[in-house]
């Protein structure tokens, strides 16, 4: 039988690369697309030798062309850490808006089903906890996170419009904080930040008083949820995340224990508009997809720490080599 063909954007990134692995494992033909601004080819290097894998170096904010048939499109291209979208705010807006529009057009031409990577950031700094899909959110459009949050909200609106107006088969996954191997050590996110600090022998920087909460999902659980949602027939947004909520202070303590570092916690200013609480209500995912996370934070953190420890020493240097300034057009 002919293989199904899937286009994955943001394929060289953290989530994109794990999705490539999953679809290769399911014997799809995978077309991996990335402009490599924040992605890293090392994440998918092991797939290049396969006959059912191809890579396309392309920015989806520009017209996207893929020859041949396409069964599915997974749009996972976007900067996704607060530090990244502060550095490349305009690219962040463009990939969520123009990029999504281009890919929806492609999906329509190819009669492909498309899933978009939305985010818990559509809920902003939420006033209800946990957050169900029905919650409309509390977003500051002109704050530093606005470029990401509003791009993702627009992305959902655009996707839903293609669904209702053109009858396109679409899926929307709202992804909550996720971690695992292949996260960038220096992307500013709390988990690589803390582990990087522990490995370098620096103090762990907790922002604010550390009472803000997050709920961390291990990447394999997330990928399973996304896979099930894509193959389901449900077009409304679905939260995928781990409801095990923890304060950032407690999380710092867990990383201190995990790594055995003798460093301490130091406190820094809370970033503007940093959400005070975040926890997914996964009632829908449980009912519709028969999905819930299986991997505990203790297990997932062990695997992730082992990955970071295995990186070459230069990966620990706390600087980003890429010059982002030219991308803000």
Per CB under 6 A, 140 contacts ligand UDP: no
Nearest to ligand UDP of 235, 270 (CB atom):
270
**Member of 189, 228, 279, 284 binding ligand UDP (CB under 6 A):** 189
Q: Which of the following is catalytic: 148, 162, 227, 327?
A: 148
Instruction: Report the b/e string of 210-249 with b at 16+ CB within 10 A.
Output: bebbbbbbbbbbbbbbbbbbbeeeebebbbbbbbebebbb
Region binding ligand UDP by CB under 6 A among candidate stretches 100-108, 200-208, 256-264, 319-327? 200-208
Q: Which one of residues 122, 248, 285, 295 is an interface residue with ligand UDP (CB under 6 A)?
A: 248
Residue 144 is a binding residue for ligand UDP (CB under 6 A):
no
Task: Report the C-alpha gap between 64 and 67 in whole angstroms.
Answer: 10
Query: Is residue 179 annotated as part of the catalytic site, yes or no?
Result: no
Q: Tokens 């604010």 correspond to what residue?
A: 208
H/E stretch holding 57 reads strand 53-57
Among 41, 243, 271, 288, binds ligand UDP (CB under 6 A): 271
Q: Is 207 a residue that touches ligand UDP (CB under 6 A)? A: yes
Q: Could you tell me where the DSSP H helices lie in the chain?
A: 14-25, 82-87, 89-94, 100-110, 146-166, 190-200, 219-231, 248-259, 283-289, 297-310
**Are the C-beta atoms of residues 181 and 309 closer than 8 Å to each other?**
no
> Which residues in the 216-235 window bind ligand UDP by CB under 6 A?
none
Distance (Å, whole) CA 207 – CA 127:
20
Q: Say whether residue 155 binds ligand UDP (CB under 6 A).
A: no
CB of 70 to ligand UDP, least distance (A): 31
- Residues near ligand UDP (CB under 6 A) are 81-82, 177, 188-190, 193, 205-207, 212, 214, 248, 270-271, 274
Q: Which residues carry out catalysis?
A: 148
């Amino acid at each position: 039988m002919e293989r199904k063909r899937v286009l994955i954007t943001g394929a060289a990134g953290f989530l994109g690369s794990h999705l490539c692995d999953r679809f290769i494992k399911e014997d799809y033909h995978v077309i991996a697309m990335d402009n490599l601004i924040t992605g890293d080819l090392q994440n998918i290097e092991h797939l290049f030798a396969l006959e059912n894998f191809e890579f396309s170096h392309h920015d989806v904010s520009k017209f996207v062309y893929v020859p041949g048939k396409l069964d599915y499109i997974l749009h996972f291209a976007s900067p996704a850490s607060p530090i990244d979208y502060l550095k490349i705010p305009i690219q962040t807006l463009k990939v969520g808006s123009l990029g999504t529009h281009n890919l929806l057009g492609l999906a329509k031409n190819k009669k492909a089903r498309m899933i978009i990577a939305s985010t818990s950031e559509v809920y902003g700094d939420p006033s209800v906890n946990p957050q169900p899909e029905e919650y409309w959110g509390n977003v500051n459009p002109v704050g530093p996170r606005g470029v990401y949050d509003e791009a993702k909200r627009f992305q959902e609106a655009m996707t839903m419009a293609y669904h209702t107006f053109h009858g396109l088969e679409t899926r929307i996954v709202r992804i909550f904080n996720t971690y695992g191997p292949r996260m960038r050590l220096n992307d500013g996110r709390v988990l690589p930040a803390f582990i990087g600090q522990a490995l370098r022998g620096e103090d762990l920087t907790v922002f604010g008083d550390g009472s803000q909460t997050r709920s961390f999902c291990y990447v394999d659980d997330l990928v399973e949820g996304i896979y099930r949602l894509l193959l389901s027939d449900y077009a409304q947004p679905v939260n995928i995340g781990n409801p095990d909520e923890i304060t950032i202070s407690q999380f710092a303590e867990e990383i201190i224990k995990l790594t055995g570092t003798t460093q301490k916690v130091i406190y820094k200013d809370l970033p503007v508009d940093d959400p005070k609480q975040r926890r997914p209500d996964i009632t829908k995912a449980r009912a519709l997809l028969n999905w819930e996370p299986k991997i505990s934070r203790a297990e997932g953190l062990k695997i992730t720490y082992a990955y970071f420890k295995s990186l070459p020493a230069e990966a620990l240097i706390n600087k980003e080599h890429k010059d982002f300034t030219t991308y803000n057009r």
